[in-house]
Amino acid sequence: MAKFKIKTGDLVQVITGKNKGEQGKVLRVITETSRVVVEGVNVVTKHKRANAQGEAGGLVKSEAPIHISNVMLVDPETGKPTRVGYRTETVERNGKQKSVRVRVSKSTGKDL
């Protein structure tokens, strides 16, 4: 299973494709296919049939997944897309020293 630098809840910007330049929050990361679902990006319309339980049919709009390589994390300070690096910090928990990886913006050096 691949590890990604983008997590659920991150603010990302689409860097290529028909939705280029749009920003949105990551709703879901699909690790098996290397795709993400971004709020308000790549919205598709599906035709839904009415069923016997009384649910009405019609057109349903929903976000479709896009490849993770087509999005970049947005730096909260500048509001522009940035690459992601890591820095290890030593944190004390329950009296023990533990090293933790922290995501860092490559452009500003601030924590993400």
Show pLDDT as tens, one digit a residue, over the chain (112 residues): 678 899 999 999 999 999 999 999 999 999 999 999 999 999 999 998 888 888 888 898 999 999 999 999 999 888 899 999 999 988 888 888 888 889 999 888 888 8
| pLDDT score, position 56 | 85
Dihedral angle of Cα 66, 42, 9, 68, to the nearest 10 degrees: 20
